[in-house]
Amino acid sequence: MYTILAIIILIACFLCMLIVLIQNPKGGGIAANFSNIPTQMMGVKQTTDVVERLTWTFGLGIFALCIIINFTKPSMGPAQQDTKLREKIDNMPLPQQAPASPQAPAAQPATPAAQPTP
């Protein structure tokens, strides 16, 4: 259910983005393309109204779907979270002990320095 709602939200966001891009803030928008056709089913004013209604509808729909998806999201209770954390801790590999550093070689007796010949 969660995945289906997430896909619907993504599609609605994409469609809302397209509808917003269709609009022109100065009143032209998609309605400007239809102004040259004398026999219209919808007037220019109605076209901009439809686009505005679609924008609001998609916006409110996305808002509602986000609230609904929040309640359908599978959630873990505190006991389940503790169990998952305990499993992770139990399955962690133990740290490896570093090998002991080798002992320094025993001090060797000093060799007598070579005596210069007179």
Place of tokens 């320095």: 113
pTM of the model: 0.48
* Residue 35 DSSP symbol: T
pLDDT in the model for residue 89: 81
For 61-74, how does the pLDDT look when each residue is reduced to its tens digit (9 = 90+)? 999 999 998 888 77
pLDDT at 11 over 90: yes
DSSP code per residue over 78-103: HHHHHHHHHHHHHHSPPPPPPPPPPP
pLDDT at 9 over 70: yes
CA-to-CA distance for 52 and 73, rounded, in angstroms? 32
Helix axes 44-72, 2-22, angle to 10 degrees: 160
CA-to-CA distance for 18 and 14, rounded, in angstroms? 6
